[in-house]
Structures are given as C-alpha cells and as structure tokens.
Chains A and B, each alone.
Chain A
C-alpha cells in the first residue's frame, strides 16, 4: 500500500500524507469507481442517443412494402389458350399465369431460389427460372428440377366469361 495517495491531476500534483487521507481512502476509491461507472454510462448513453435514430432511420417505412394487388385482369381465354403462359404485374409483385389442360393456374413469379422472375417455356412445357435453370410444374407449381428449395406460391384465379382474373389480398 502506498504511503502517499496521489490526488493531483497534473504531473506535479499535490499529495496528501496517508495518515491524513486514511479516512478518505475508502470513500475516495468508491467515488472513483462511481465516477468511472458514471463515465461509462455517459459514453454508452451518448452512443445510444446517436445510434438509435440512425438505425431507426435506416429501417424501411411501411409504405415501401409495395401495394396489394386486389383483382387484376390477367388476360382472356383467347390471349391465353391452353399451353401458353404470361408474366403480369399484380400490384408491385410479378405473377405468372399458365393455361394448362387442368385449367388456368397462377403463381407468384418470384423464383423461390434467389428471387429471379420465372418465365413460361412453351417448348419445355414448364415454368423455368432463367438464373439457375430451376423448373416448375405448371399444373402444381412444384419443383421439377434444379436448385429451388420450394414450390412457387400459388395465387387464386377466377375465370369470368372468358376473362381471367388473379385475386389477391
């Protein structure tokens, strides 16, 4: 234990003999620790004051989430005869409509692998993704081959007269 306790802040700071400081030593140590905690708290809270609004600012707003489609005219039975398909916009999202022997089907056109937009390949008779050549069954949306981990998300369709609608939301 040092015989003298440094009290000064500058190089040649004042020193107080240990005997005189004895009573204050334990209090002094507690005070220093308290001040250190206070300093740490100040630093952390100052950082939080700066970082919180920055992170909050960076989180996208709700309006950036795109619009719901509602009911969208995808085509007619004449423009989409059996064995054909097309990609159309439903709100801000792309959808693929295919006319199969078992009826008109619609799916989200966003490939479940890496988000590319699938297309209808008439020659192959399949929905294919141009990025990694993933193939989907037009009748069910199931993966036929390639790396997609899940089937295409199905969308509801309604045929009224000869008009084909995709119904979402």
Chain B
C-alpha cells in the first residue's frame, strides 16, 4: 500500500505491533479528529444514553449467569441473586436503575434534539434511526420487566400485552405471538427472555452503529443556524467557532459519565430493586401500576375507550417518528418556531399530567 503521508518512525510496543499489521491509525484518526461547533449544546445526553446501554450489557450479562427463565425457577433465582450472590443486589439494582435512567436520558435527548431543530436537514435519517432506538429501549423495559416473575412483573405484562392485543387488526395475532399463547405463561417468559437477551441487543447494536455513523458523517448540529442546503446561498461558515471532538468534547462527556455512574450507585444503594410476592395468575394485586414511562398510557386507558387509548399513543409515536417529513420549516431557533414548540410543550404537559394522575390513582 502506498501513501502520500510523511513516513513516521515505526511505533513500538503492542500498539506498534497492531498498527504495523492492521494500519488502523488513519481510521481511528478519522473517527476521533473531527471538529464540533463551539455553540453546540448537547448536554451529553446521547453519549450518556450510550454509556448507560454499556452498563446494561455488562450487568445484564452478569445477571444472565444466575437467572433461570422458567416460572418455577425465575422468582427464586432472582431472590438468590438479590440475597445470596456476592454483589448480586448491587448488580441487579444497577441494572434496574440504569434501565430507568436510560429511558429518562433518551426522552431528554429527544427533547433536546427537538428544541434545537437538530432533526431537520440533513439529519432526518438520524432522527428516524433514533426513533427506532427509542422503541427498542422501551421494548427492553417491557420484556425485562416480566423476568423477575413477581406479582408486579406478571400483571404489568398481562395488562401490557392486553393493550397490544387491542391494536386494531393486528392486535389478536400480536397478542398470541407476544404471549406464546392466549395467556401469560411459561411460554411468555421464555419469549420475553429470548427477546430481551438476544433479539433486542442484536437489533439495538446494529441501530446504534448506524446512528453513530450518521452523527459522525454529519457532525453536530449548530443550534443557532440551519445547515446550508446544496445549491442555495448559505451563511459564511469560515468564521464559525469550532472545538476538537477529541479530546475536548470527549473529556466533558467522560465527566458526565462519571457523574451518572455516581448517581446510579447512590440510587441502587438507597433504593435497591425490590421483589414482590411470586406471580399468582389468580390474584391481581390492588393498586397495581406499570413502570413510570407507561403510566400515562395506563391512565389514558382509564379515561377513554380502549381503542382510542391504544390508537392515540401509536399515532402519536408515528407522528413523532416522521416529524422531519411533516415539519418543513428550515428555522432551528426555538423562538422562531412558536407553533412547533407550543405543540410539543402542550404534549409534554399532557403526558406529565396523565403520568402524575396515573401515579396517584
């Protein structure tokens, strides 16, 4: 292979050994040495979500070493992880809290992208892939919730799959496919376990890679001006202030990760993941509630007919996913997008109110 680059002194040590054989230097350099707008304010949310996913991979793999996915053994195995296995309570509680924080940081990430108009040209596809990532993450939450096989897990799954079964047209076969039969049984547990530890991780791994590739190709959005479009006069970008992604941005991101890790350990220690009574298909406990991110839909189903309560959230998610196709306004600054920002605020307040009502009832 020939190159115009000036010849450097050969690297020594293990890094040199690898470099002399694989020539990865230019590839890694191209990944790291990019510049980001100095004005970019990401609040490190995307990176935090990625970090949390990494934690889930590690803690999830550890939990899978002790977990038994059958109704007879699942509950006892989780009990054993929590009380017998060294650091078992910590690993399980961190897995539990990371799941919650991952959903929270994803929601905040979506809000950040929306407010800064970063889903607009040329980043429509990145937003679309991000929508897929959000749904996969919720899928992780939903399937993982059943695995402890306690009352809360069991009945959240009965209600959740029942909601899926109420989707017009595809509902009934979808319910059978999800449950592996008409009821929530050992078949459901086996399916949810398989989906949780094999199907979703493979899918999310692929989508994360695509999402990061897109972000790398397009760079971070500038929250103060839209990206120039081909063939149209754009602003002079030569004077735009930028900063290096590596090490400046990465260092800040790393600090954010440490802060998140600290928060996780504190949460897991003060509020460890609990376990209710073993699942009983004959008794629905009183005041049963799903996880906080499903509370809004759960409360909505109390107030409106079932079909409306099921179709409305699906329609809403679809509208959010195809938002870049609907919103043709080029402007990115929130003050100049009063309708979009107003509608989003209304939606968030509505969801917030439903969630609080669901939490109280």
Q: A60-B181, A113-B306, A114-B159 are in contact. Are A130 and B287 (CB under 8 A)?
A: yes
A60 touches B180 (CB 8 A): yes
B183: Cβ under 8 A from any A Cβ: yes
A64 touches B284 (CB 8 A): no
Q: Which of B180-203 contact A (CB under 8 A)?
A: 180-183, 185, 187
Q: A130-B288, A132-B301, A147-B306 are in contact. Are A115 and B158 (CB under 8 A)?
A: yes
Residues of B within 8 A of A92 (CB): 183, 185
Q: A114-B162, A131-B159, A147-B301 are in contact. Are A60 and B187 (CB under 8 A)?
A: yes
Residues of A within 8 A of B159 (CB): 114-116, 131
B65: Cβ under 8 A from any A Cβ: no
Residues of A within 8 A of B284 (CB): 116-119, 129-131
Residues of A within 8 A of B185 (CB): 64, 92
Closest chain B residue to A55, Cβ basis: B177
Closest chain A residue to B191, Cβ basis: A58
Residues of B within 8 A of A116 (CB): 155, 158-159, 284, 288
How many residues from B make CB contacts under 8 Å with A?
A: 29
Q: A59-B177, A94-B281, A116-B159 are in contact. Are A149 and B306 (CB under 8 A)?
A: yes
How many residues from A make CB contacts under 8 Å with B?
A: 28
Closest chain B residue to A111, Cβ basis: B284
Cβ contacts A127-160/B at 8 Å (1 or 0 each):
0011111000000000000110100000000000
A87: Cβ under 8 A from any B Cβ: yes
Residues of A within 8 A of B301 (CB): 113-114, 132, 147
Residues of B within 8 A of A133 (CB): 302, 361
Cβ contacts A97-123/B at 8 Å (1 or 0 each):
000000000000100011111110000
- Chain A interface mostly helix, strand, loop or mixed? loop
Cβ contacts A55-87/B at 8 Å (1 or 0 each):
000111000111000000000000000000001
B90: Cβ under 8 A from any A Cβ: no
Cβ contacts B324-361/A at 8 Å (1 or 0 each):
00000000000000000000000000000000000001
B30: Cβ under 8 A from any A Cβ: no
**Measured between alpha carbons, how far is A129 from B284 in the docked complex, in Å?**
8
Closest Cβ–Cβ distance, residue A55 to chain B (whole Å) = 9
**Measured between alpha carbons, how far is A131 from B282 in the docked complex, in Å?**
14
Residues of A within 8 A of B187 (CB): 60, 64
Closest chain A residue to B163, Cβ basis: A114
Closest Cβ–Cβ distance, residue A20 to chain B (whole Å) = 41
Cβ contacts B302-326/A at 8 Å (1 or 0 each):
1101100000000000000000000
- Known A92-B185, A117-B282, A132-B301; 7 more pairs at CB < 8 Å: A60-B180, A114-B162, A115-B158, A115-B159, A117-B283, A117-B284, A149-B306
Binding site for A on B (CB under 8 A): 155, 158-159, 161-163, 176-177, 179-183, 185, 187, 281-288, 301-303, 305-306, 361
User: Can you list 26 pairs linking A and B with CB atoms under 8 Å apart?
Assistant: A59-B176, A59-B177, A66-B182, A87-B283, A88-B282, A89-B282, A93-B183, A113-B301, A113-B306, A115-B159, A115-B161, A116-B155, A116-B158, A116-B284, A116-B288, A117-B283, A118-B284, A119-B283, A130-B287, A131-B159, A131-B288, A132-B301, A133-B361, A146-B302, A147-B301, A147-B303
Binding site for B on A (CB under 8 A): 58-60, 64-66, 87-89, 92-94, 109, 113-119, 129-133, 146-147, 149
